[in-house]
């Protein structure tokens, strides 16, 4: 015999193949500014619908002065969880009650908040999402390898942390503003004394020493007028290349990587992997929802 509740769920699934919004609907969302370009609502709502979960995910464009109030809203309205995106990933640390994982505290940026009975727990799923994507799409394992990180902002920090955490042997950091690259180098050295970390102002060093992996963690390539984050022809040999940008799906940087015959991928895989990890943290469900998300992304790409 099925319990009565299961029967109710079956009837409801038969009558409403996608859950209707009703008085039981659970609320999730993303806080950012700007946020209207975000694909997270598309991804999470597709998963909720496919798994018949009575939940919705909305995008909230939050002004800086209201960020604290927005976090209080998670608690006061009983939202189940949120993602946090640019420019609030670092500020989010001030508004959660705990950051349970050492790695997430180290990165110093959160993208996922879980509301655990009124206690707000912060996580970073970007870093593990990045490692999953490079492992699965590019079959690249950073252990013992030399990597070049382009950029020194929030995204670059997550990427560099992830590479050092995954036992990269050496990490070069290049940034338009060299002081920020130097700052990131010093910060990382404090956490990963066994990894060689070097901030560079030119690519000279890479003519002599081979980089196995290059990642674009700058925003260069999002707009047509952007410069290349680097000229890959300056490398001394072939490298595996990852671009965090997924829109456009092929930046000029990735196009060049392809023309040079380098194995490369854009940020779609990371987008789906970090979203799937957030979903797992919120719901405690174990199934891999990336396939649903990848389908949605493929449709979106057209």
* Residues annotated as part of the active site: 89
274 binds ligand ATR (CB under 6 A): no
153 binds ligand ATR (CB under 6 A): yes
Q: Which is nearer to ligand ATR, 183 or 280 (CB)?
A: 183
Among 121, 156, 211, 257, binds ligand ATR (CB under 6 A): 156
Which three-class secondary structure string do you get for 131-149? HHHHHHHHCCCCCCCEEEE
Q: Which of residues 57-96 bind ligand ATR (CB under 6 A)?
A: 86
Alpha helices in 95-204 (DSSP H): 102-107, 126-138, 154-165, 178-191
**Count of residues binding ligand ATR (CB under 6 A)?**
16
100 binds ligand ATR (CB under 6 A): no
Q: Which is nearer to ligand ATR, 177 or 236 (CB)?
A: 177
Among 96, 134, 155, 293, binds ligand ATR (CB under 6 A): 155
Contact, 120 vs 74, CB < 8 A?
yes
33 binds ligand ATR (CB under 6 A): no
Tell the smallest beta-carbon distance from residue 172 to ligand ATR (Å): 14
Place of tokens 């959160």: 110
Tell the smallest beta-carbon distance from residue 150 to ligand ATR (Å): 8
> From CA 253, how far away is CA 240, in angstroms rounded?
13
Q: Which of residues 208-247 bind ligand ATR (CB under 6 A)?
A: 218-220, 226-227
Contact, 167 vs 192, CB < 8 A?
no
Contact, 147 vs 211, CB < 8 A?
yes
Tell the smallest beta-carbon distance from residue 26 to ligand ATR (Å): 29
Tell the smallest beta-carbon distance from residue 175 to ligand ATR (Å): 5
Contact, 220 vs 195, CB < 8 A?
no
> From CA 28, how far away is CA 21, in angstroms rounded?
13
> From CA 112, how far away is CA 89, in angstroms rounded?
9
Q: Which is nearer to ligand ATR, 32 or 73 (CB)?
A: 32
Tell the smallest beta-carbon distance from residue 10 to ligand ATR (Å): 44
- Cis peptide bond upstream of 248, omega within 30: yes
Q: Specify the pairing of strand 146-150 against strand 213-216.
A: parallel
Among 25, 76, 116, 177, binds ligand ATR (CB under 6 A): 177
Q: Return residues touching ligand ATR (CB under 6 A).
A: 86, 151-156, 175-177, 180, 218-220, 226-227
């Amino acid at each position: 015999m099925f319990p009565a509740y299961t029967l109710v769920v079956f009837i409801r699934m038969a009558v409403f193949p996608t859950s209707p919004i009703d008085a039981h609907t659970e609320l999730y969302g993303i806080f950012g500014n700007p946020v209207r370009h975000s694909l997270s609502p598309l991804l999470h709502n597709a998963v909720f619908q496919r798994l018949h979960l009575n939940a919705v995910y909305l995008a909230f464009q939050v002004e800086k002065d209201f960020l604290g109030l927005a976090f209080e809203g998670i608690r006061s309205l009983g939202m189940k969880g949120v993602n946090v995106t640019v420019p609030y990933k670092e500020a989010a640390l001030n508004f959660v009650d705990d950051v349970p994982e050492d790695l997430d505290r180290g990165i110093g940026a959160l993208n996922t908040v879980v509301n655990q009975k009124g206690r707000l727990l912060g996580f970073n799923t970007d870093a593990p999402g990045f490692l999953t994507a490079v492992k699965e799409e590019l079959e690249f394992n950073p252990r013992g390898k030399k990597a070049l990180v382009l950029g020194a902002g929030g995204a670059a920090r997550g990427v560099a942390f992830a590479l050092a955490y995954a036992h990269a042997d050496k990490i070069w950091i290049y940034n338009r503003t060299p002081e920020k690259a130097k700052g990131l180098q010093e910060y990382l050295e404090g956490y990963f004394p066994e990894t060689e970390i070097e901030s560079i102002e030119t690519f000279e060093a890479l003519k002599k020493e081979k980089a196995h992996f290059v990642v674009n963690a700058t925003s260069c390539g999002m707009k047509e007028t952007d410069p290349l984050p680097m000229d890959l022809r300056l490398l001394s040999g072939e490298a595996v290349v990852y671009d965090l940008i997924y829109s456009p799906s092929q930046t000029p940087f990735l196009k060049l990587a392809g023309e040079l015959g380098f194995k490369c991928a854009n940020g779609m895989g990371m987008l789906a992997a970090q979203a799937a990890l957030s979903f797992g943290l919120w719901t405690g469900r174990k199934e891999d929802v990336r396939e649903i998300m990848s389908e949605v992304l493929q449709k979106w790409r057209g």
